[in-house]
Amino acid sequence: MADFMGMMKKAAELQSKMKAMQDELDHVEVQGASGGGLVSVTMTAKGEVKSVKIDPSLIKADETEILEDLMVTALNDARRKAEAAMQDKMQALTGGLGLPPGLGLG
């Protein structure tokens, strides 16, 4: 019975730490860029886009497709960095417990 109580206590501690990590991830920001920095996107590690910056040289009526492509690339770059930041935080939290991939955090 003592082992079960110990496991329950560890589970509660892990749950508390995961909640704190979720709150912290709201404040971790990453930046994705494309076009050599002509387009940049800032988002939280949880994937909320905070800002988009576009170099004025890209704003031409006849080149909207280029700008659209650069936006997609910058957003995807930021998303990859956000996922990496989240994985780093999760790894630090679990200490290598070997939790299954894709464990939903939010």
Q: What is the pLDDT of residue 106?
A: 47
Q: How confident is the model at residue 103 (pLDDT cuts 50, 70, 90)?
A: low
For the domain covering 29-90, report its CATH number: 3.30.1310.10
What pTM, to 2 d.p., does this model score?
0.65
The contacts of residue 76 (CB under 8 Å, 6+ apart) are 32
The C-alpha torsion from 35 through 37 and 43 to 49, rounded to 10°, is -60
Of the candidates 36, 26, 76, 33, which has an alpha carbon nearest to the alpha carbon of residue 53?
A: 33
Domain range annotation of the chain? 29-90
77-96 residue pLDDT tens: 999 999 998 888 888 777 75
23-82 residue pLDDT tens: 787 788 999 999 999 999 999 888 889 999 999 998 898 988 999 999 999 999 999 999
Q: What is the pLDDT of residue 97?
A: 57
